[in-house]
Structure 1
Amino acid sequence: MLKRISFSSFFISILYFLIYFFVPALKNAVYSGGFWAILHALMGVILIVGVFGIVLFTLHYLFSDPTKK
């Protein structure tokens, strides 16, 4: 359940930044501050943590011993 929530929030943050990149009205809302600026910061943190997790899990998969439990 927690894994599904974390993956879905990561993909929602990717979708948010794609929309942010292509919609000027959302950029203006973020620049004005308030709720949208806080949401933007939260989505940025989720995106950074998600990318870091993907890199970490990939390195763990590549360099861990499959026979060791």
Structure 2
Amino acid sequence: MSVLKRIVFSSFFISILYFLVYAFVPALKNAVYSGGFWAVLHALMGIILIVGVFGIILFTFHYLFSDPNKK
């Protein structure tokens, strides 16, 4: 597995873990609401999560509808 692929996958799973912690820890929610670094981190993790989910959907459609015999 290439280094770039490992970074992309790990950042996606880190963003999932971040939002699980965000959902259950009120102190993190208050830190995000206060602004600054935590708000920027929250926005970045949201973008990573949305792009990752969109990529999974695209790769699934590509797998389902591509011709395996086509080279």
Q: 2:67: which partner in 1?
A: 65
**1:50 — aligned with what?**
52
**Number of matched pairs:** 69
Q: How does 1:1-69 map to 2 (within 5 A)?
A: 1-69=3-71
Separation in structure 1 between the aligned mates of residue 67 and residue 55 of structure 2, nearest angstrom: 19
Percent identical residues: 87
- For residues 36 and 64 of structure 1, what CA distance do their matches in structure 2 show? 41
Structure 2: which 5+ runs fail to align? none
The TM-score with structure 1 as length reference comes to: 0.98
Question: Which 4+ residue blocks in structure 1 deviate beyond 6 angstroms?
Answer: none
Unaligned runs of 5+ in 1: none
Q: How far apart are the structure 1 equivalents of 2:4 and 2:68? A: 25
Cα RMSD after superposing both structures: 0.4
Q: Give me the TM-score of the superposition, normalised by structure 2.
A: 0.96
